[in-house]
């Protein structure tokens, strides 16, 4: 049971406050904010309590999404609810930010009214909600399909080999009503990689968590069939050593997905709801089908002048036509590092010393497959000792790999039946993110 829900900006401004059960003091929001900010660091615990009022909160879009409840409540339910609420707000308002929440407060109150009654969750299904939600979303910028300023950030491929504008999926779901029946559907395959590479260069751990997300802007939806790679397999033993097989360890589906054609043809059938939903989640450990995207070859030594020299060679092992974007290597350096001088192998890279996080941050906007970059960092560390070397590393790498899935999962086809009247667009997009890519030194 949820007593109150509120949304706060990172500065503590009250954006939304809804009291479902009554009887809560007015100061409850301030109490929460005091508790959150009283803690050192920017990562307060998920659950906090004040007497017997328990606060559960999540951070999304730079905002605090808070529910108050009692000690006996399920943390899984409350957390999932807050995540779902944030997702719905994002669906309805187009994006998540202080501004979009502020501009759409009436819409969000309307949503909350339908989602929760007397602290009990009634429904979070966008199919049900669309019948009740009347308020139109307000966006800060009129949506335009021709806004192509960010193309390439989130590259996409479809059967027509067109590029979907990256802003296309950040508009309110209801705007499709006014777009003259313009209906679109986005199918995103999103994977997150967790990798640890040992100091000897051996792979210690590699995990991929993946999901297929459907984002639907069609006012009335017909059945959709998503065809995956035919050689897709689930479980440890099957088809090993048979080349192109795409394998995952575990796989689960949204309850609306019908699997009658899955065993025979690897086809998922569903009637997508409006808005965003995750239709399939899967996970793979330790047995990636392709080479790791990045290898690092570090050489670290002290020179005579008491400086620390770090020579870093970073190789991108993606296929030659692909590229990684927004690559960022964070190299922890000894405490007391004063200044950094650098030699980078090409002009589109940059590096700086961040004394607060005690790290050198090396950024590469675009990194083509099959190429190698190198950097020489010279650090001035007055108190350098041999033990200081312990503080160098492990290197954390973050990146985005557009058009690539680490598991090799592909969408073979995407069919809507019956054929939609009028113009309809189907977009399939792939992206792999680094969840945590750690290279020990």
Partner 1 sequence: GVQAVPKETEDKSRSGVDVSGLFSEMVKACATVDVVQKKLVYVFLCSYATLNPELSLLVINTLRKDCQDPNPMVRSLALRNMTNLRLPSLVEYVEQPLTAGLRDRAACVRRVAVLGWAKLHNLQPSSEIDAAVVNELYSLLRDPDPVVMVNCLRALEEILKEEGGIAINKPITHHLLNRLKECDIWGQSEVLRVLQRYRPQSEDELFDILSLLDSFLVSPHPPVMAATLSLFLSVSSNLPAISLAALERVSGPLLAACGSGSREMRFAAVCHIQLLLRSVPGLLGPHYKRFFCGYAEPAYIKERKMQVLVELVNDENVAMILDELKGYCTDVNTDTAQAAISAIGRIGRSYSDRCLQILTGLLGLKQDHITSAVVQTMRDLVWVCPQCSDTVCLALDGCEETLQDIQGRQALLWLLGVYGERISTAPYTLEVLIDGVRSEASLGIKMELLTATMRLFLCRPAETQDMLGRLLHYCIEEETDMCVRDQALLYYRLLHCGIEKTREVLQGRRSDPSLGVLIGRPAKPVSQWARCFNTLEPLSQGAVEAESDRSDSAMRCSDSSTNVLASSIAVDCAWIEECVRCPAVLQCSPQSLQAAMQLVNIQTLAFTPQHMLPWRVYLYTHTQLRVSEDGQEEEEGIKVILNQQPKDDDALRQFLTILITVLNTLSSEKD
Under rule CB under 8 A, which residues in 105-134 are in contact with partner 1?
105-106, 109-110, 113, 117-118, 120-125, 131-132, 134
Which one, of 107, 401, 410, lies nearest residue 231 by Cα?
A: 410
Residues between 205 and 244 with contacts to partner 1, criterion CB under 8 A:
205, 207, 209, 211
In the complex with partner 1, which residue's Cβ is closer, 125 or 158? 125
In the complex with partner 1, which residue's Cβ is closer, 82 or 184? 82
Task: Report, in Å, the least distance between residue 248 CB and partner 1.
Answer: 12
Contacts of 15 (CB under 8 A, 6+ apart): 6, 7, 8, 9, 63, 98, 101, 102, 105
Region from 227-235, 293-301, 308-316, 330-338 binding partner 1, contact rule CB under 8 A: 330-338
Please tell me whether the peptide bond between 418 and the residue prior to it is cis, using omega within 30 degrees of 0.
Answer: yes
φ, ψ (nearest 5 deg) of residue 415: -125, 140
Task: Report, in Å, the least distance between residue 179 CB and partner 1.
Answer: 21
- Does 41 participate in binding partner 1 (rule CB under 8 A)? yes
- Does 359 participate in binding partner 1 (rule CB under 8 A)? yes
Single out the residue of 11, 26, 38, 71 in contact with partner 1 (rule: CB under 8 A).
71
Task: Report, in Å, the least distance between residue 363 CB and partner 1.
Answer: 15
Supply 252's token pair. 């689960």
Residues between 180 and 209 with contacts to partner 1, criterion CB under 8 A:
192, 194, 196, 198, 204-205, 207, 209
In the complex with partner 1, which residue's Cβ is closer, 152 or 336? 336
Supply 313's token pair. 């060679």
Contacts of 93 (CB under 8 A, 6+ apart): 100, 101, 103, 104, 107, 108, 137, 138, 139, 172
In the complex with partner 1, which residue's Cβ is closer, 122 or 372? 122
Rg (CA), the chain: 25
In the complex with partner 1, which residue's Cβ is closer, 22 or 243? 22
Q: Is 119 helix (H, G, I), strand (E, B) or coil?
A: coil
In the complex with partner 1, which residue's Cβ is closer, 205 or 265? 205
Task: Report, in Å, the least distance between residue 305 CB and partner 1.
Answer: 21
Single out the residue of 335, 338, 341, 372 in contact with partner 1 (rule: CB under 8 A).
335
Single out the residue of 75, 235, 306, 423 in contact with partner 1 (rule: CB under 8 A).
75
End-to-end Cα spacing for the chain: 48
Task: Report, in Å, the least distance between residue 154 CB and partner 1.
Answer: 17
Residues between 374 and 433 with contacts to partner 1, criterion CB under 8 A:
383, 385-388, 390-391, 393-394, 396, 398
Task: Report, in Å, the least distance between residue 436 CB and partner 1.
Answer: 3
Q: What does the chain come to in residues?
A: 441
In the complex with partner 1, which residue's Cβ is closer, 99 or 415? 99
Contacts of 136 (CB under 8 A, 6+ apart): 107, 174
CA angle, residues 16, 19, 24, in degrees to nearest 5:
120
CB 357 within 8 A of CB 377: no
Task: Report, in Å, the least distance between residue 262 CB and partner 1.
Answer: 15
- Please compute, for residue 51, the number of CA atoms within 13 A of its CA located in the half-sphere on the CB side: 5
- Does 283 participate in binding partner 1 (rule CB under 8 A)? yes
Task: Report, in Å, the least distance between residue 428 CB and partner 1.
Answer: 20
Q: How many CB atoms lie within 10 A of CB 382?
A: 8
Region from 78-86, 291-299, 316-324, 403-411 binding partner 1, contact rule CB under 8 A: 78-86
Q: Encode burial over 342-367: b for 16+ CB neighbours within 10 A, e otherwise.
A: bebeeeebebebeeeeebbebebeeb
In the complex with partner 1, which residue's Cβ is closer, 233 or 285? 285
- Does 51 participate in binding partner 1 (rule CB under 8 A)? yes
Task: Report, in Å, the least distance between residue 98 CB and partner 1.
Answer: 14
- The dihedral formed by the CA atoms of 346, 350, 353 and 356, expressed in degrees to the nearest 10: -150
Region from 231-239, 264-272, 277-285, 411-419 binding partner 1, contact rule CB under 8 A: 277-285
In the complex with partner 1, which residue's Cβ is closer, 23 or 241? 23
Please tell me whether the peptide bond between 407 and the residue prior to it is cis, using omega within 30 degrees of 0.
Answer: no
CB 327 within 8 A of CB 344: no
In the complex with partner 1, which residue's Cβ is closer, 269 or 415? 269
Residues between 246 and 265 with contacts to partner 1, criterion CB under 8 A:
250, 252-253
CB 353 within 8 A of CB 360: yes
In the complex with partner 1, which residue's Cβ is closer, 183 or 228? 228
Q: How many CB atoms lie within 10 A of CB 375?
A: 21
In the complex with partner 1, which residue's Cβ is closer, 57 or 171? 57
């Amino acid at each position: 049971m949820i007593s109150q829900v509120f949304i706060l900006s990172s500065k503590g401004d009250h954006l939304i406050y809804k009291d479902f059960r009554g009887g809560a003091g007015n100061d409850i929001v301030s109490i929460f904010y005091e508790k959150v900010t009283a803690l050192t660091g920017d990562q307060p615990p998920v659950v906090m309590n004040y007497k017997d009022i328990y606060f559960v909160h999540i951070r999304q879009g730079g905002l605090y999404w808070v529910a108050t409840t009692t000690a006996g409540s399920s943390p899984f339910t409350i957390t999932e609810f807050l995540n779902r609420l944030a997702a719905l707000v994002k669906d309805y308002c187009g994006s998540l930010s202080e501004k979009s929440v502020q501009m759409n407060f009436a819409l969000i109150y309307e949503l909350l009214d339908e989602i929760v009654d007397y602290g009990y969750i009634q429904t979070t299904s966008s199919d049900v909600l669309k019948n009740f939600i009347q308020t139109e979303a307000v966006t800060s910028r009129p949506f335009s399909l021709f806004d192509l300023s960010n193309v390439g950030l989130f590259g996409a491929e479809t059967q027509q080999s067109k590029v979907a504008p990256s802003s296309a999926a950040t508009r309110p779901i209801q705007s499709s009503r006014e777009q003259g029946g313009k209906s679109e559907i986005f199918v995103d395959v999103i994977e997150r990689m967790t990798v640890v590479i040992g100091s000897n260069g051996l792979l210690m751990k590699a995990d991929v968590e993946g999901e297929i997300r459907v984002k639907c802007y069609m006012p009335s939806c017909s059945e959709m069939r998503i065809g995956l790679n035919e050689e897709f397999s689930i479980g440890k033993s099957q088809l090993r050593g048979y080349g192109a097989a795409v394998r995952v360890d575990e796989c689960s589906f949204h309850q609306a997905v019908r699997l009658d054609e899955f065993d025979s043809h690897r086809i998922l059938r569903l009637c997508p709801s409006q808005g965003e939903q995750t239709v399939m989640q899967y996970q793979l450990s330790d047995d990636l089908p392709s080479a790791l995207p990045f290898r690092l070859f570090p050489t670290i030594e002290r020179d005579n002048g008491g400086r620390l020299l770090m020579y870093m060679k970073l190789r991108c092992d993606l296929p030659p036509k692909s590229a990684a974007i927004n690559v960022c290597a964070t190299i922890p350096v000894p405490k007391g590092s004063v200044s950094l001088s650098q030699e980078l192998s090409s002009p589109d890279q940059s590096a700086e010393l961040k004394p607060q996080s005690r790290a050198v941050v090396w950024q590469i906007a675009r990194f083509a497959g099959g190429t190698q970059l190198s950097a020489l960092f010279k650090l001035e560390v007055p108190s350098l000792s041999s033990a200081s070397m312990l503080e160098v590393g492990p290197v954390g790498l973050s990146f985005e790999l557009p058009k690539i899935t680490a598991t090799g999962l592909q969408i073979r086809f995407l069919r809507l039946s019956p054929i939609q009247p009028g113009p309809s667009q189907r977009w399939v997009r792939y992206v792999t993110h680094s969840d945590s890519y750690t290279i020990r030194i």
